[in-house]
Amino acid sequence: MIKKRLREHFKKHADMEKKAVKDMVRRGVWLSLAGIALMVGAASAAYFHKDAFIWTLVVVIMEPAGWFTVWNGLDRVFFRPKELEPEKAFYEKMSKAEIRFDEY
């Protein structure tokens, strides 16, 4: 019974880590797409409304926000999942490990 519960515990945590990595990548993709949309909006505002002060202000705000959002999203896609990899690997190994109880 203890072996079964330990295995279930490690399997549950391994699945949770996999889901966390998957969710992080998904959010990163959405952030990157949102940043690209911000930059397209800024470019459109700059192109179609060259002389209006308010549109210049919109461009000044949207361009850095777009770049920041794109790079933050790409960071979540490519680099942050690697930070979670050791813990995920540990739980996966432990969920497949042979559990033995020896007497003293």
Express each pLDDT in 4-62 by its tens digit. 899 999 999 999 999 999 999 999 999 999 999 999 999 998 888 878 888 888 889 99
The domain locations on the chain are 2-96
DSSP state of 102: -
The answer for residues whose C-beta is within 8 angstroms of residue 101's C-beta and 6 or more apart is 2, 3
- The alpha helices in the chain, defined as continuous H runs, are 2-48, 53-78, 80-96
What letter represents residue 66's amino acid?
G
Q: What is the pLDDT of residue 103?
A: 84
Query: Using CA atoms, how far apart are residues 97 and 11, in angstroms rounded to an integer?
Result: 11
Q: Are the CB atoms for 46 and 60 separated by under 8 Å?
A: no
With a cut of 90, say whether residue 99 has pLDDT above it. no
